[in-house]
Structure 1
Amino acid sequence: MMKKEQITYMKIKRCLLIGFCSMLLFNCSRDTYVGELPTDDDAPLEQPVPIVLSLGMSDFEILTRGSGEVNNGNDADFWNKVRFYVYAFNKDPQTDLSKPWSETNEDFCLLDGYRIAGANVQTSNHGKEVGVKKEDSNLMLFYPDENSQDIYYNMQHTDWPYNFFAYYLDDWSGECHREKDHIYYDVELDGRRDFMSSMASVDSQKDKYEGNPYRDKILGRAFSAYSANHGLNPVFQFEHHLVLLRFVVCKPGSSSNQSGSDIPSLDPTLKVKKVELNSKYKGRFTVAVNDPETNDPTKPRRGFTFENQDSKYFELKKKNGDFIGNNGWCFVADCPAYEDVTDNDKKYYHYVLGKDENNDRDSGASLLVAPGDSYWAKISLSTEKGLEGPLYTEVDVELKNTNDNGVFSPGKAYTVYLTINSLSDIKPTIESGVWTNGGDINVSPDDEYKDE
């Protein structure tokens, strides 16, 4: 868990770096390799212009590979291992994405896994592998040779713009398929893998060019050696493509146990043993396309498609990936009453795990599943009050969303409140939340997250 000083620092950093990241890159690039702006703005560039990439969010957290949603926060041990992949292709919609980078093909493919950095060479159909140097304005450094970043823009056609794509594969190493108009992976979900992608946009950096006489050229030629020479570098704001489901186990409200109610008094030995959810799990993850601005629905788009109808049950696990175990997840009597869950409670990450402050905060986490109209959850319960010994049962519950046009949308977060009335009676309630680009949730149990 982070110390309070670290938490404060990270929050300040989150506020400042997003605003100043582009400015820092602009100042760095100008002072390092450009010099004074030439009188003739279209004069040939005298020095090679390096490709400078940056992560738009100031403090991601990735706990371990395949451990669940990618969040805000800090996990320094893993940060050194996390890798993203980056492509850059000519903006011409007819560009053939299947042809890899080479010195003779640089007009069309500027950056991929065939681009050489220093003495170490990565050669694959993947995007160019990068790591993130958070202490240096979130620069995305080419991997594996972080000491040799000499990868430059196309210096033969310095005004030719490129589309920059980045993506994240959480514990997935399947084959990369490169077609003429798109690049994709066939992947399988496991309830804990998070897949993200991004396409760099100039929108977040437009304001800094107000009043600049070359503004239209700079923005119109993004991203190229010309625009980079003016300090306009690709910044990636990642988006999630799956559905995030958080679970809270609730006991009935006091009104449910009043005399005359159809629901019996709560059994103090009633225990949740397992939570499972059925979802599609075979999908196609498209990470780059040659015509991202098209409105033609027949052309490929970035993100996930789930044409395969095969489904499976995913089990909610501990945050560290372990199964809940024979001791059970929680006694229902120790869980909050649904009617007592306040808006303030929902701001704290540990609360949505269905545990109070006296219980194990690692007992549950979230599930990452395919978008859908509804889901079936299987809740396993036990009690010690059977006439012939302990009783065990599984209750199937359909989860329906009454918001968002009745569907569970990609990139959205939902909190599932399971009110356990008895060994056979469970009432689900769904609330929509926000799972912003790149994640915005602090995993430190005492920190707030906004879910509204």
Structure 2
Amino acid sequence: MKKQFFYAAMALAVMSSCSKDNDPGNGNPEENNDKAVIALGVDVPTATVSTRGTGSVGDVAGDQNTWNSQKLYIYMVDRATGLEAEEGADGAKTKILDNDVLQFRAPKADAQDKGSIRIYKSYTEDTDNGVIQYKYYPTNGQYTFYGYHIDDAENATPNITATEKKVTGVTINGTQDLLAAKTIDMTANDAQTDGSFYKDIATTLTTEWSELMNYQFGARTARKGIVPVLKFEHQLARLKFFVRAGSQSAAGYEYQGGWTERKSNDAAAKTLGMQVTKITLKDMANVIDMDLTTPVSTRNGAGAADFVVCSKDATNNNKLDPTKGLITPVVPKYPYGDSNIPDASTDPDAKGTQVGEPVMFFPNGDIELSIDLKQYVEDTQDETNGNTISYKEVEKADNKLTIEEAKISADTKEFKPGASYNVYITIYGFEKIEVTAVLTAWENGGDIDADIEDGK
């Protein structure tokens, strides 16, 4: 990943040198002829761990932890004044990076260079393409970049002033992943620091690096191929829900020399496993303030709302719609603990069957759940017609469950922003009410002789 930043930076440096203009420069005769393109880099989403949310960005680790063209908001701030950088003549100045005019997009999922933010003059969501807009650094000055991603969260109010860089009133519903970022500064030890985003280019520039430390970030560093990196950090925690079958009757499969699906033998041929049809997180904090300078977030007020686990809607660009509150019904595949369960490396359902998409939330203590269940069960058996079985659906709504922070396997024992948690819920199937009648034998109480002539 770090080398991708390095090669992208070199390409941008070459592109900058091809754009001549009457630039008075900064006093360095080697650099005073070229306009310097503003280019920004990002790391992979940092997870220790989309209108109507696209869902969480990235994953815990590996190939799934990538950007996928998420919309970003980017602010370019003058280090000297703390105000947004402007261009143009006095009296007619405009913001260099104007979020009302430009659109910023994270790298495409299949991009060879996964480290470059794309700046668009116009962008088409459906094709993930548009018209790239180039912007250039002023001749002099040093700048810091701030950014955030909120998906389709509502009521967000950015407040970028000389003294603060905040986004307040962000109203979430569990489907949005909030991320905040600030430029990672260059340091004197970047060339010797493993994991530094600037390690490769710092090593290449060697003795120049210490001098360039006094010019971050601006035209001079850009002409040397240094691309400021914004490290976006998750501001919420994440829950991934899985269900397990605590009994044979709850499982969707049974073992009979091999795993076979349990289905009714009527015309409907429906699964006989217990279905999870809805999971609701009750009274979740739903208004968040983000401070981009840290970055860290806090709860705004005491507002609360229910968050519903959603499945992606294939008919609507795989977006999530909590207003419908629906998930694709999920049946745990195997009875948990069965000795015949396959290895989880070959069948992920062996450990638990995932329910819907992850839910993002602001950590605020234990979480109360409401779970709706449904099962297709035997209803009648007709002895007059070859013991034919009929079936019916039985629902049990609003089953209560508490997710306790104290049960988190990690040492923290509390939910943390930027952490992803797997929640395994064990469910049990409906059991037939069967009553056995035991016939008690009469006790032999002995014989009694009675003679009618003995009557009085």
With normalisation by structure 1, the TM-score equals 0.64
The corresponding residue for 2:117 is 140
Q: Deviations over 1:74-123 (max 9, x none)?
A: 9x9x967x42221111234xx344x67354689x9974317xxxxxxx45
Partner of residue 406 from structure 1, selected from 393, 406, 413: 413
Residue 306 of structure 1 aligns to which amino acid in structure 2? R
Q: Give the whole-Å Cα distance in 1 for the aligned partners of 2:10 and 2:297.
A: 37
**Alignment-mate amino acid for residue 330 of structure 1:** V
Distance in 2, Cα, partners of 1:314 & 1:209: 46
Three-state SS of the structure 2 residue aligned to 1:22 is helix
Q: Give, in whole Å, the separation in 1 of the partners of 2:135 and 2:29.
A: 22
2:146 alignment partner, SS class: strand
| Structure richer in helix, relative to its length | 1
- Counterparts of residues 341-420 of structure 1 (less than 5 Å): 345=344, 354=353, 364-383=356-375, 384=377, 390=394, 392-401=396-405, 402=408, 403-420=410-427
Judged with a 3 Å threshold, the aligned counterparts in structure 2 of structure 1 residues 175 and 191 are, in CA distance, closer, same or farther, namely: closer
* Cα distance per residue 1:227-284 (max 9 Å; x no partner): 1111111233322111110111111278xxxxxxxxxxxxx66432321112534323
Is the CA contact 1:276–1:378 (under 8 Å) kept in the aligned structure 2?
yes
Letter of the 1:272 counterpart: V
Structure 2 residue aligned with 1:330: 330
Shift of 1:140: 2.3
- The answer to whether the 8 Å contact 1:186/1:282 transfers is no
Please tell me whether residue 153 in structure 1 is matched to residue 137 in structure 2: yes
Q: In structure 2, the residue corresponding to 1:226 is in which secondary structure?
A: helix
Superposed displacement of residue 218, structure 1: 2.0
Partner of 2:258: none
SS at match of 1:313: strand
Quickly say closer, same or farther: Cα 1:28–1:310, change in 2 above 3 A.
same
Contact preservation (8 Å) 1:249, 1:418: yes
Q: Shift of the alpha carbon at 1:225?
A: 1.1
Code of the aligned partner of 1:21: Q
Report the equivalent of 2:98: 113
Q: Deviations over 1:169-209 (max 9, x none)?
A: 20135353324412313111111111212223144113432
| 8 Å contact from structure 1 (residues 206, 219) kept in 2 | no
Q: Name the structure 1 match of 2:239.
A: 245
**Structure 2: which 5+ residue stretches go unaligned?**
19-24, 123-129, 187-195, 249-271, 314-319, 381-391, 432-456
Counterpart-to-counterpart distance in 2, 1:391 and 1:67: 30
Q: How does 1:406-445 map to 2 (within 5 A)?
A: 406-421=413-428
Aligned length: 350
Is 1:129 aligned with 2:103? yes
Q: Secondary structure at the match of 2:292?
A: strand
Partner of 1:297: none
Letter in 1 for 2:402: E
Specify the alignment match of 2:277 in structure 1: 273
Of the candidates 301, 308, 316, which is equivalent to residue 301 of structure 2?
Answer: 308
Q: String of CA shifts for 1:389-425, please: whole Å, max 9, x gaps.
A: 935242211112333422111111000011124669x
Deviation at 1:130, TM superposition (A): 1.6
Tell me the SS of whatever aligns to 1:71: coil
Task: Decide which moves more: 189-198 or 396-405.
Answer: 396-405
Letter paired with 2:77: F
- The aligned amino acid for 1:167 is Y
| Structure 2 CA distance for aligned equivalents of residues 69 and 32 of structure 1 | 34
Could you tell me which residue of structure 2 aligns to residue 12 of structure 1?
Answer: none
Q: Secondary structure at the match of 2:117?
A: strand
CA–CA distance in 1 between the matches of 2:362 and 2:4? Answer: 33
Letter in 1 for 2:113: S
Give the Cα–Cα distance (whole angstroms) in 2 for the partners of residues 374 and 42 of structure 1: 62
Spell out the pairing of 1:277-288 with structure 2 (5 A cutoff).
277-286=281-290, 288=292
> Which ranges of 4 or more aligned residues in structure 1 deviate by more than 6 Å?
339-344, 346-353, 385-389
Q: Does structure 1 conserve the Cα–Cα contact (< 8 Å) formed by 2:331 and 2:353?
A: no
Residue number among 69, 78, 82 corresponding to 2:56 in the alignment: 69
Give the match for residue 189 of structure 1. 172
Q: Which has the larger radius of gyration?
A: 2
Shift of 1:377: 1.0
Match of 2:76 in 1: 88
Report how far residue 50 of structure 1 moved: 1.2
SS in 2 for 1:330: coil
Residue aligning to 2:150: 169
User: Secondary structure of 1:113's partner?
Assistant: coil
Counterpart of 1:130, as a letter, is F
- 1:67 deviates by 2.8
Q: Distance in 1 between the 2:221 and 2:142 partners?
A: 9
Structure 1 CA distance for aligned equivalents of residues 90 and 337 of structure 2: 60
Q: Does the CA-based 8 Å contact 1:221-1:227 persist in structure 2?
A: yes
Instruction: Quote the sequence identity (%).
Output: 17
Superposition TM-score, scaled by structure 2 size = 0.64
Q: 1:412 to 1:140 in 2, by over 3 A?
A: same
1:101 match: 86
CA distance in 2, matches of 1:341, 1:207: 51
Q: Distance in 1 between matches of 2:214 and 2:172?
A: 39
CA positional deviation for 1:375: 0.7
2:37 alignment partner, SS class: coil
Is residue 245–residue 415 contact of structure 1 (8 Å, CA) maintained in 2? yes
